[in-house]
Structure 1
Amino acid sequence: MIDDVRNHASSATAALKSLEQRLLKIAGTAGDFSTLVPALSIHRRDAVTDPVPCIYELGLTVTVTGAKKVLVGTEVFDNNPGQGLLASVDLPVVSYVTRASDADPYLGLVIRLDSSLVLKVAAGLSIGRAPRNIGFAALSQDRLDSGLLGTVDRLVALTDEPKLAPSVAPLIEQEIIARLLLSPHGPLFMKLNASDSPSRHVAQTMAWLKQHFMESISIEALADIAHMSPSTFRQHFKAVTGLSPLKYLKQLRLQEARQLMLNQHVDAGAAGLQVGYESVSQFSREYARLFGEPPLRDIRRLRTVETGAG
């Protein structure tokens, strides 16, 4: 028994070291890197960072070296090497790197998951509903075992095999989902998929809102989509996301506006109007409240960081 534990620990350490070497080849400098595998992105920081509001999409975040802290409402997650954070819905969080240097950078990766594929894999595994007494957690953290780390390592390895990646990556992604469903994350993950669960109705409403956040919509209309009364909807929505529906909507709009300005060079006024704001001044005020700086100054700082000056 003790030998089995030691062997698993040794295998996990080896997989983590292999991941570190692969990530260093992809991320030779600080920054965010897309890969040949569309669902996979690599992230490196060479210094600690300030807290940054962002959206964690449905998916798995893995810390390989260094450390980061993630805040969801009042809950705090300290993510260390070998630990994974599983977001079961698209979730506004505050994230920042707490341990990193030039000599020992923060290295992490994100694997985005497809909700329909999660349901398909769960059906194939004959996984039933989570017990009713298990509460829903939109973000869960656990140390990844050697099997899951090894599977993640094989997915990253495909970035060196462009001819093989399109065919093999989806198979490895399915294996990752299967291992997550059978891990300690599983019961919480499956809680979302119970058709009669309030959490499921909230998640479906969030998915709808992600596609229509630029439209003018009332709490009453969102509650109708979730088949709940407005007061019940507010209660369950906050239990899932840690935010009120209005604050969640604001974060979706502001995050999208930030990406429009950063990646498509849309000016601040146009970005605010494009994501649903009727007033440019209101957009600027709420943007500065969330990100700590007015739009133009924030985007200028982000571009400086991307070029390596940060």
Structure 2
Amino acid sequence: MHDDLNRLCALVQKHCPAGLVETALEGVRLNQTTAPTMPSSGVYEPMLCIILQGAKLVTIGDRTIRYDPASYFVASVELPATGWICEASAERPYVAMSMTIDRQMLASVLADMPVQAEGSDGGFFVNALTPGLLGSMSRLVELLDRPEDVPVLAPMIRREILYRLLQSDHSGTLQQIARADSRISRIHRTLHWIRDHYDEPLSIDAMSELAGMSRASFHRHFKAVTAMSPLQYQKALRLQEARRILVAQTDAQGTAHRVGYESASQFSREYARMFGMPPTRDAERLRGSPQPADL
């Protein structure tokens, strides 16, 4: 498998000379970086990410995970996260690729497989890379050399990749997100509501009702999926949006109210706790050195 990994790494480098590249393959991005990066915060969409060279750390809620060429990372729901490349150099760049996970396609693949028991509530995981998954990803990237084949073959290979993921030890996470009334899918509904209304007061009773769960069950399953409580999830969204706004403007107090904070001092404290410095200083730093694109 080592030789196959090296071949795919070289192919990705061919189509991604530097930085982050959006490819002609729907939902597929490539990245090549020659130095470690500062922590970069954002909301991870449902995706598969494979590192072909180097290593990365990701913090989601109260968990920090590492993945490298021996493993791959899957997020099955939208997750506020902070990631940073921890191993990269000019001699051995960090090289990675990602593919978004289409929920409808995942459900279609699952429908063609034998019925399996509902699995784990976890919303993300790291797993060992297998020869089958590596081969499928390689065939997908090879299509960049044959653009005329992309419309027909890319959807087929994406289905194959999802099939490989559904065969893994952590397939229960993906099975749940593909099923409309699973525990993760019901939590997923509340994640969408919080993302659309992050600047409004959060009612746990309303979220529990939306998920069709008791308060205690909702809290337990929400934490299992996201590694954070509903209020921590909302706070992470608020602070990340505030950071994006502050790069373009300097009014920290106005930004605090805009993202839903009633107290500017509380906003400043929580912002500094999350990003390491007060809002105005952090924004000035970002204007001089923007955050790297994350993958």
Residue 211 in 1 paired to residue 196 in 2? yes
In structure 1, the partner of 2:32 is: 44
In structure 2, the partner of 1:9 is: none
Indicate conservation of the 8 Å contact 1:42/1:110, yes or no.
Answer: yes
Indicate conservation of the 8 Å contact 1:65/1:108, yes or no.
Answer: yes
In structure 1, runs of 5+ residues without a counterpart are: 1-11
In structure 2, the partner of 1:58 is: 46
Amino acid corresponding to residue 157 of structure 1 in structure 2: E
Residue 72 in 1 paired to residue 57 in 2? no
Q: Report the more deviating stretch, 287-296 or 137-146.
A: 287-296
Residue 271 of structure 2 is aligned with which of 278, 281, 287? 287
Alignment of structure 1 residues 108-123 onto 2, 5 Å: 108-123=96-111
Residue 79 of structure 2 is aligned with which of 85, 91, 97? 91
| Deviation sequence 1:52-87 (CA, Å, 0-9, x none) | 443322111111101122233444432121411111
Q: Distance in 2 between matches of 1:36 and 1:279?
A: 45
Report the CA distance shift for 1:74/1:182 in structure 2 as closer, same or farther (over 3 A).
same
Percent identical among aligned pairs is: 36
Indicate the RMSD between aligned Cα atoms, in angstroms.
Answer: 3.0
In structure 2, runs of 5+ residues without a counterpart are: none
Report the CA distance shift for 1:159/1:284 in structure 2 as closer, same or farther (over 3 A).
farther
With normalisation by structure 1, the TM-score equals 0.80
**What's the CA shift for 1:123?**
0.7
Report the CA distance shift for 1:287/1:64 in structure 2 as closer, same or farther (over 3 A).
same
Residue 15 in 1 paired to residue 23 in 2? no
**What's the CA shift for 1:246?**
0.8
Alignment of structure 1 residues 88-237 onto 2, 5 Å: 88-130=76-118, 134-193=119-178, 197-237=182-222
Q: Report the more deviating stretch, 244-253 or 48-57.
A: 48-57
Amino acid corresponding to residue 21 of structure 1 in structure 2: A
Amino acid corresponding to residue 44 of structure 1 in structure 2: Q
Amino acid corresponding to residue 14 of structure 2 in structure 1: K
**What's the CA shift for 1:303?**
5.7
Larger relative contact order (C-alpha < 8 A, sep ≥ 6)?
2
Q: Distance in 1 between matches of 2:15 and 2:279?
A: 31
Q: Distance in 1 between matches of 2:23 and 2:251?
A: 29
Q: Matched residue of 2:122: which SS?
A: coil
Indicate conservation of the 8 Å contact 2:107/2:179, yes or no.
Answer: no
With normalisation by structure 2, the TM-score equals 0.83
Q: Matched residue of 2:139: which SS?
A: helix
In structure 2, the partner of 1:26 is: 15
In structure 1, the partner of 2:226 is: 241
